[in-house]
Amino acid sequence: MSRKKDKPRKSAAEAFSRRDFLKGAGVAVSGGLMVGEQVAGATPPEGATQVLGPGAVPITLKINGRPHKLNVEPRVTLLDALRNHLDITGAKKVCDRAACGACTVTLNGNPVYACAVLAIEAQGKEIQTIESLTTGGKLHPVSAAFVEHDAQQCGFCTPGFVMAVKAFLDKNPNPTMQDIEKGLGGNLCRCGTYVGVRQAVLEAAKAMKGGKAHA
């Protein structure tokens, strides 16, 4: 099937923003992964490269400010490491192929599809999941705005959307509606909650600047 046939299904702006999302994520899924003795995240000394796997290797992930040690095969994605090895299940597995955004978490503040990042590649980075956004029973302004504007139905896309919105607003505190549409083009909602989501983003932007106290 040619790429031309896909074009009418999404606007040029949306297509652009989805590519931007992936670029920002810096994702890479590789077949045979070669990393250094200190595993991923560190530059191996010259000549010290070794092939890891296929068996499990010990890694440490810094998630929501806390280090977690686990043993995973090098092929395990960050999403599966979170959900299946650490029981951190906020990020959802929907497409499992970097297409929908339901698994969005942030790496060093940038939104990434956790299903498209290998767990060992996420070592040495600050991983933030939706679980980090509620402290002491208080919702983050983005989560609160989603509730207030009915920006979810089945909720499968919602944790990913909330993380994408937080990352977006951290870098774009005064977005226009056009910025929002483009900036969130990497997340899809099968229930069609886009109107509520966009309203929630505007509301959260205000709240995060002290315009309205949600949290």
List of residues contacting ligand FES (CB under 6 A)? 93-96, 98-103, 113, 115, 152-158, 189-191, 193
Instruction: Decide whether 97 or 138 has the Cβ nearer to ligand FES.
Output: 97
List CB contacts of 116: < 8 A, sequence separation 6 or more: 22, 25, 27, 29, 77, 97, 98
Kindly report the backbone phi and psi dihedral angles of residue 183, in degrees, each rounded to the nearest multiple of 5, phi listed first. Answer: -65, -25
CB of 155 to ligand FES, least distance (A): 5
Instruction: Decide whether 52 or 158 has the Cβ nearer to ligand FES.
Output: 158
Instruction: Decide whether 101 or 141 has the Cβ nearer to ligand FES.
Output: 101
Instruction: Decide whether 39 or 127 has the Cβ nearer to ligand FES.
Output: 127
Instruction: Decide whether 100 or 145 has the Cβ nearer to ligand FES.
Output: 100
SS3 call for 118 = strand
CB of 86 to ligand FES, least distance (A): 17
Q: Are strands 110-113 and 66-72 parallel, antiparallel or unpaired?
A: unpaired
**CB of 146 closer than 8 Å to CB of 161:** yes
CB of 47 to ligand FES, least distance (A): 36
CB of 90 to ligand FES, least distance (A): 13
d(C-alpha 127, C-alpha 10), whole Å: 30
CB of 108 to ligand FES, least distance (A): 19
The tokens for 175 are 């977005």
Residue with tokens 């070592």: 123
